[in-house]
Amino acid sequence: MTVTYDHQRLQDIRLAFHRMKKEEVTAFLRGEEYPYERPLAILKEALLKKDQKELHVALLAWQKILTPLRIISPGNYSRTQVKLARIEGYSEPNSLVALEVNQSYRLKTRVDKNGHFTFDQADLAFGDNTLVLYNHDFLFIDNFRFFLHIHLERHYYFMGRHDPFTQRAFQADELDSITRCKTCNNFMYDYSVMENHGYCTMTDCSSKAFFDSKDTEFWLP
């Protein structure tokens, strides 16, 4: 098998090498042991020789010692009503894991010393979501990205509740005229708030700030 790394890939490997070299020096100055000393030395050799085959072997050696990225929950192609999803998995201890949500934003979290990581607040869009997870520190080794597909169903938390002002029961098709108080979290009609001079219609609440259905907080329990 012939392996060829393109220019971009080689650049990523070199950048990772320099980052780890710095980490190694920092560890040395602190009198700490650097866990990747050997594979880093092998990688250095391969980069100096500019030998693609040797580079491939060096990267395989890395692959062997690292904890592979895997996701424990949620399951792939699962359905949920939880808008702020919790993503949990395992990867190389103390490294950085990145999560991209629908190509719109990226979160990062540090893996703990036992290899466990959690993203608590992955804000999902309604319908199908594509989440991409990868190990930010060790992506250079195999460019491995884990694709996670989650379907978010709408759940109307205002259903079964009443507008405090008119005492009307909310209906699903009234979504656009329902707001949620930022202070007491109660749902109410926007026209009830207008009638109440812009104030929350709950007796003990004097808030003038509200969420609508475009805000994430509107959709939380």
Site of interaction with Zn ion (CB under 5 A): 181, 183-184, 200, 202, 205, 207
Closer of 37 and 217 to Zn ion (Cβ): 217
Whichever of 143 and 206 has its CB closer to Zn ion, that residue is: 206
Smallest gap, in angstroms, from Cβ of residue 18 to Zn ion?
Answer: 54
Nearer to Zn ion, 65 or 209 (CB): 209
Q: How far apart are CA 85 and CA 74, in angstroms?
A: 9
Give whichever of 104 and 203 is closer to Zn ion, judged by the CB atom: 203
Angle at the Cα of 176 from the Cα atoms of 175 and 181, rounded to 5 degrees? 80
* Tally of CA atoms within 13 A in the half-sphere of 177 that contains its CB: 12
The H or E element containing residue 172 is none
Confirm if 142 and 116 have CB atoms less than 8 A apart: no
Least distance (Å) from Zn ion to the CB of residue 163?
Answer: 13
Give min distance, CB of 176 to Zn ion, in A: 20
Our CB check for Zn ion shows the closer of 2 and 203 to be: 203
DSSP-derived secondary structure for 2-61? -----HHHHHHHHHHHHHHHHHHHHHHHTTPPPTTHHHHHHHHHHHHHT-HHHHHHHHHH
Helical ranges in 66-220 per DSSP H: 139-142, 190-195
Instruction: For residue 200, give the nearest of 174, 219, 176, 182 by alpha carbon.
Output: 182
In the bound complex, what is the minimum distance in angstroms from residue 127's beta carbon to Zn ion? 30
Kindly state the smallest distance separating residue 196's Cβ from Zn ion, in Å. Answer: 10
